[in-house]
Structure 1
Amino acid sequence: MLRLRCSLLTQLLSSPSASPASHLHRLLSAAAPAVSPNPSSFAVEEYLVSTCGLTRAQALKASAKLSHLKSPSKPDAVLAFLADLGLSGTDVATLVAKDPKFLCAKVDKTLAPIVAGLTGLGLSRSNIARLVLLSGNNFRYRSIVSKLHYYMPLFGSSENLLRALMRNPYLLSFDLDGIVKPHVAYLHECGLGACDIAKLCIYQPRMLTTKPERIQGMVARAQNIRVPRGSVMFRHALHAIAFHSEEEVAARVDYLNSTFRWSDAEVGIAVSKAPSMLTRAKESLQRRSEFLISEVGLEPAYIAQQPTIVCYSLEGRLRPWYYAVKFLNKNGLLKRNPSYSTVFTETEKAFREKFICPHKEAAPHLQEDYDATCKGQLPTNFRFTRAKNRL
Structure 2
Amino acid sequence: MQSRFGSLVKQLKFRILLPPSQNFVAFPKLLYPTSGLLFSPTTYSTVCQAQEESVEVDIRDQPKNSAEVLRNWGCSDTDISKMFTRRPVLRSTDLNQLQSKLNVLSGLGITAPQLVKIINCYPRFLSYRFNHCIDERLEFFMRLFVSREVLVKAIVRNPSLLIYDLHNKIKPVIKLYEGIGLSMEDLIQMLLQRATLIPRTSFNDEKMEYIRKTRLSTDSRMYKYVVTIIGVSRLETLSQKISNFEKFGFSEDEIFGLLGSSPLVFTLSVDKVQRNMTFIIGKMKFPAKVILENPFLLYSNLEAVLKPRVFVVGKIQEMGLDLQIKGPRMLTALRMTEKRFLKAFINCHPKDVADELMEFYTNAKSVKRLAEDYSKKNFHQGFPF
Q: TM-score, normalised by structure 2?
A: 0.60
Residues 271, 277 of structure 1: 8 Å contact kept: yes
Which residue is 1:162 aligned to?
A: 156
Q: Aligned partners of 1:152 and 1:353: how far apart in 2?
A: 47
Which residue is 2:232 aligned to?
A: 243
**Which residue identity is paired with 1:94?**
V
Residues 309, 334 of structure 2: 8 Å contact kept: yes
| Secondary structure class of the residue paired with 2:322 | coil
Which residue is 2:302 aligned to?
A: 314
1:1-391 matched pairs, under 5 angstroms: 76=64, 80-85=68-73, 86=75, 87-88=80-81, 89-90=84-85, 93-95=88-90, 102-105=94-97, 107=99, 110=100, 113-118=103-108, 121=109, 123-128=110-115, 131=118, 134-141=125-132, 142-143=134-135, 153=147, 156=150, 158=152, 161-165=155-159, 169=160, 171-175=162-166, 179-180=170-171, 183=174, 186-187=177-178, 190-191=181-182, 194=185, 197=187, 200-202=190-192, 204-208=194-198, 214=203, 221-258=210-247, 260-330=248-318, 331-334=320-323, 337=326, 339=328, 340-361=330-351, 362-376=353-367
Tell me the CA shift for residue 209 of structure 1.
5.4
Residues 320, 373 of structure 1: 8 Å contact kept: yes
Q: Aligned partners of 2:225 and 2:67: how far apart in 1?
A: 44
Structure 1 pair 282–209 and aligned structure 2 pair: CA distance change class (3 A): closer
**Which residue identity is paired with 1:374?**
K
| Secondary structure class of the residue paired with 2:355 | coil
Residues 214, 260 of structure 2: 8 Å contact kept: yes
Residues 138, 173 of structure 1: 8 Å contact kept: no
| Secondary structure class of the residue paired with 2:306 | helix
Question: Percent sequence identity over matched residues?
Answer: 16
Tell me the CA shift for residue 312 of structure 1.
1.3
1:231-276 CA-partner distances (Å, limit 9, x unpaired) = 3333443454333344542332121110x22233433333333333
Q: Aligned partners of 1:300 and 1:106: how far apart in 2?
A: 56
State the 4+ residue runs in structure 1 displaced beyond 6 angstroms. 71-75
| Secondary structure class of the residue paired with 2:245 | helix
Which residue is 2:49 aligned to?
A: none
Q: Aligned partners of 1:92 and 1:307: how far apart in 2?
A: 41
| Secondary structure class of the residue paired with 1:214 | coil
1:158-215 CA-partner distances (Å, limit 9, x unpaired) = 56632323xxx35544328994497179459735674x5455334533423567x639
Structure 1 pair 357–203 and aligned structure 2 pair: CA distance change class (3 A): same
Q: Aligned partners of 2:115 and 2:227: how far apart in 1?
A: 31
Tell me the CA shift for residue 297 of structure 1.
0.4
1:121-152 CA-partner distances (Å, limit 9, x unpaired) = 3x322324555752533453453765775659
Q: Aligned partners of 1:280 and 1:106: how far apart in 2?
A: 40
**Which residue identity is paired with 2:297?**
I
**Which residue identity is paired with 2:211?**
A
1:33-73 CA-partner distances (Å, limit 9, x unpaired) = 9xx9xxxxxxxxxxxxxxxxxxxxxxxxxxxxxxxxxx999
In structure 2, runs of 5+ residues without a counterpart are 1-51, 370-385
Q: TM-score, normalised by structure 1?
A: 0.59
Structure 1 pair 177–308 and aligned structure 2 pair: CA distance change class (3 A): same
Q: Aligned partners of 1:74 and 1:147: how far apart in 2?
A: 35
Q: Aligned partners of 1:309 and 1:295: how far apart in 2?
A: 13
Q: Aligned partners of 1:321 and 1:106: how far apart in 2?
A: 53
| Secondary structure class of the residue paired with 1:231 | coil
1:4-60 CA-partner distances (Å, limit 9, x unpaired) = xxxxxxxxxxxxxxxxxxxxxxxxxxxx99xx9xxxxxxxxxxxxxxxxxxxxxxxx
Residues 207, 230 of structure 2: 8 Å contact kept: yes
Structure 1 pair 130–352 and aligned structure 2 pair: CA distance change class (3 A): closer
Residues 360, 366 of structure 1: 8 Å contact kept: no
Structure 1 pair 360–131 and aligned structure 2 pair: CA distance change class (3 A): same
Q: Aligned partners of 2:165 and 2:193: how far apart in 1?
A: 18
Q: Aligned partners of 1:289 and 1:350: how far apart in 2?
A: 25
Q: Aligned partners of 1:180 and 1:332: how far apart in 2?
A: 64
Structure 1 pair 188–342 and aligned structure 2 pair: CA distance change class (3 A): farther
Tell me the CA shift for residue 370 of structure 1.
1.5
Structure 1 pair 218–347 and aligned structure 2 pair: CA distance change class (3 A): farther
Structure 1 pair 185–252 and aligned structure 2 pair: CA distance change class (3 A): closer
Structure 1 pair 215–94 and aligned structure 2 pair: CA distance change class (3 A): farther
Structure 1 pair 151–308 and aligned structure 2 pair: CA distance change class (3 A): same
